[in-house]
Amino acid sequence: IFFFFYFEDTYDLKMLRVAARKHQLLGLRVFVEKDNEIPDVGYALFTDAETGKQIWANTSNPRWRYEFAEQQKQKLRHITEDFESSSAGFININTGEDYAKFLYQYFRKR
């Protein structure tokens, strides 16, 4: 069994599909619920850790916060669909939950 840990990085869908044909893959998304939303803190400077690109955002704007949350949901839907279409497993684990329970349920189904 090969575990694929997803760290908010890009991946090659073709390579995912090739690997899933040869190995049993399981993608794990370990997250904190607050990762999916931005609090209202006024203007804030955000820096992309990988590219160094910076943007200013008005987090007081409810529309901006809503769009951020929707983008996070869209990314998760896209990743989940990619793993499912590749015949690979995918589990979301909140840091406040017992990960052993999710892994046990996953392997019971397999």
CB of 105 within 8 A of CB of 32?
A: no
Write down the residue that tokens 């996070």 correspond to: 72
- Return the structure tokens found at 17: 């599909």
pLDDT single digits (tens) 24-72: 888 888 888 888 888 999 999 988 877 889 989 999 999 999 999 999 8
State the pLDDT at residue 109: 86
